[in-house]
Amino acid sequence: MSDPAQHPVRLAKHVADLARCTRLEAEQYIKGGWVSVDGRVVEDPAHLVSGEAVLIDPAAQLETVEPATVLLHKPVGYDTISGRKAAAGLVQPETRWAEDPSGVRMLDRHFHRLTPLVPLDAEASGLMVLTQDGRVWRRLTEDGDEIEQEFVVEVSGEIAPYGLRKLNHGLHYNGRALPPCKVSWQNEVRLRFAIKGVQGGQLRDMCAQVGLGVVAIRRLRIGKVSLAKMPVGAWRYLPVGERF
């Protein structure tokens, strides 16, 4: 428990005195979510304390807090990059997937300045990425067109003759010939697309070109990272070491 001076001091200074550690180490404890003030975790080293009870979690570890990357199962009707109904608003402490296998400790700072990446149509559902990590941002923007994405598209109608062959290679979009991709039937009404450099509206247009209507689109995978069994509206962390 604390016994600080009467004048307010920075939490980092007080924790350094309390733990008999350096100011830098104290800041690591605080940023790591190991310090509570009157029973509430405070992650700001500059937070002022004067008489509150300051406690350090007995399990506290000195570790650098890595920027977070979040994987969200976006529901239909939410915008990824911009729009009135931003999917980023769904990333809240209470919507974290209960079976998140990442092992990442949830911190308040993980919910600030999350940048959405890899566009997904509002009418589509599935895997969405939001990050604070510049390395992930560069990978998914600078190399984005080289990363394969996988979709399941539920369709209606009868496919045109040689339609599946055309979906794999032979269609145009926005006046340009599309590069080859991998399209196959998953069942009688669902097509599986493995495709790079996909643009907004492209999958619907491709299906329309071979006589099919689109009932639903769901993104299953971006590179090596998959949606797995995460339910709609839930999110999990991308653990350190998992790569797109």
Q: Say if CB 119 and CB 130 are below 8 A apart.
A: no
Q: At 217, which CATH number?
A: 3.30.70.1560
Rounded to 5 degrees, φ, ψ at 89 are: -65, -15
Which residues partner with 125 through β-bridges? Answer: 218
* 20 lies in the same domain as 87: no
Q: Please tell me the least confidently modeled range out of 53-62, 93-102, 144-153, 191-200.
A: 53-62
* 216 lies in the same domain as 155: yes
Which of 5-19, 28-42, 83-97 reaches the highest mean pLDDT? 83-97
Q: At 125, which CATH number?
A: 3.30.70.580
Rounded to 5 degrees, φ, ψ at 84 are: -70, -30
Distance CA 122, CA 105 (A): 30
Containing domain of residue 169, as a range?
148-222
Give the predicted TM-score (pTM) of the model: 0.82
* 165 lies in the same domain as 129: no
Query: What is the model's pLDDT at position 242?
Result: 87
Query: What is the model's pLDDT at position 153?
Result: 98
Q: Say if CB 60 and CB 29 are below 8 A apart.
A: yes
Segment 125-183, tens digit of pLDDT: 999 999 999 999 999 999 999 999 999 999 999 999 999 999 999 999 999 999 999 99
Q: Please report whether residue 187 resides in a domain.
A: yes
Segment 202-221, tens digit of pLDDT: 999 999 999 999 999 999 99
* 19 lies in the same domain as 121: no
Query: What is the model's pLDDT at position 143?
Result: 92
